[in-house]
Chains A and B, each alone.
Chain A
Amino acid sequence: MDTMNDKLIVPQKFKSLLYGLIGIGVISMVAGFVLDPHRAWANYLLNNYYFLSLAIGAAFFGAIQYIAQAGWSSAFKRIPEAMASYVPVAAVFFLLMYFGMHSLFHWSHEGITETDALLAHKAPYLNVPFFFVRVILFFGLWIVLIRLLRRISLKEDVEGGLEHFYKSEKYSKVLIFIIAISFTLFAIDMIMSLEPHWFSGLFAAKSFIAAFLHAATVITLIVIVLNKIGHLRMLNHSHLHDFSRYIFMLSIIWGYFNFAEFMIIWYGNIPEETMFYVHRSHGAFGVLFYANIILNWFIPFLFLMPRMTSRSKLFILPVIVILMIGQYTELYYYIWPAVVHEAKFGILEIGTYLGFLGLFTLVVTNTLSKASLVPKNHPYLEESIYHQF
């Protein structure tokens, strides 16, 4: 099987298409800032967080493969690596959010601590300078470790030997430890602090699981697409089964966390906790509450349960699309009631999403084209190519 010279060459046409998408995104953002700045910043935050969580989830996915010494996935490890290379781009966007703090986070308003006792109490943590110190710290740690793992991985291609594998495993352990702490705090900063009066113990853990779930989904999507256009020839039904097991398992955990959070709050019935759901129980948000559960848990759970469907691209692809929509509706459900206060959805939202999608795809394909699509000297490569169960 000729996997040694599998290299992705991005056609100029496809690149132009991506630049077109980015152009649409820029136009939508500019139009948004002129017409409705709050909505534009909400869009900015949503899409930024959406694609960052894919990148971080992918880095986590790759690290888990090393730590578990998983054989089956080693031929596909360039895909999570490429997705994780989006993190530095996201860092720039999150730093630019400095100009939108006022529109997004009402705890950042001048003088609010004088009239609001709770925000005054939280001020030592929730203040603009410390907020950006955290952003810089988290992104710094992520970028350093992701770069390091990528460099070891590329070095392994040239030099071979087991040493790089053990090094990757060691740094992967550091990476999951850091992601577990930093990404949960990051989700609290970016999403939960939109409602600074709200208390929930499970929100951060749920956000982390959501990132892992949707990253696993997009990794599977990229693998299937690359296979369709003639790369990654070794992809077989067993690989697909393992990928869909990830999606299946994580969507169950997502459903579990989502339910556990809601159920505790509903049963405890404390105003500080319930107000989040009360604000989101009317009109379109009342529908979105159920839509989230159906898109992110019910459909993947039901469709990927049988052995036959979880081994076929025909069934996995629609589930992937549904989960990508599900991630959007989940974030929309959190952000819009807090920032925009009503369920506005239109060309602005679609345009901004397409813009970020184009940028994300550009970065990922660019990184993919820089190295061989199949790692060359990974110790488990042979096992992965002939994976069968």
Chain B
Amino acid sequence: MITNKKYLVGVFNDEHTLIDAFEKALQKGVVIEEVYTPYPIHEILHGMKNKTNITTAAFFYGLFAVVMLIGGMYYAAVIDWPLLFGGKPFNTFPSFIVVTIVATILTITILTLFTFSARAKIFPGKNAVIIDVRATDDKFIILLDQEKMGVGKPEITRLFEANGASEIYEK
């Protein structure tokens, strides 16, 4: 039977059967598209090799913010428009720091939010892609792309069933 359904979905009832099936599938060379779980699971995070670099990006956003903020305040208070203010020097560096800390946190938050949204391709008003609505509750889902999964469908079905999948269907 030829189907034009793109995905093969394996539904699991609990964490342990999911991890068993997940690890055995990886050993057999199955290419897994995505795993949906109600909470983060170490083995899945390691197995999917989804390493994020967003912390590095955040660090450089922070560095950028610090340089721009201190530079900007120095320019405004010392170079562009120096004011005599209660006997204080033009370059009131310690009072710049407070503003810098707060505005750096804000800058990092906003820029990493945008970075994450761009990488994950989400934006306000986008419809949520939910493969199986039960994955938002208490079920664990392994998603396979039928064209790219590397191993034949019957074999995967057998593997999942042997390892405690409660349901396998195409979507």
Contacts and interface: CB of A to CB of B under 8 A. Distances in A.
Contact of A305 (B59, B87, B97, B98): B59
Interface residues of A, number: 10
Interface in B50-90: 55, 59, 87
Contacts of A389: 42
A263 B95 contact: yes
B45 to A, nearest CB: 11
Listed residue (B55, B87, B94, B98) with the most chain A CB atoms within 10 angstroms of its CB: B94
A276 to B, nearest CB: 15
Contacts, number: 15
A290 interface: no
Interface residues of B, number: 8
Contact of A263 (B42, B59, B98): B98
Nearest to A256: B101
Interface in B7-62: 42, 55, 59
Secondary structure type dominating chain B contacts: helix
B42 A388 contact: yes
Interface in A339-389: 388-389
B59 A259 contact: no
Contact of B95 (A267, A305, A307, A388): A267
A155 B94 CA distance: 52
A242 to B, nearest CB: 16
A51 to B, nearest CB: 33
Contacts of B94: 259, 262-263, 266-267
Contacts of A263: 94-95, 97-98
A139 B42 CA distance: 46
Nearest to B94: A263
A267 B97 CA distance: 13
Nearest to A389: B42
Contact of A259 (B42, B55, B97): B97
Nearest to B86: A269
Contacts of A269: 87
A109 B53 CA distance: 62
A267 B96 CA distance: 12
Interface of A: 259, 262-263, 266-267, 269, 305, 307, 388-389
Interface of B: 42, 55, 59, 87, 94-95, 97-98
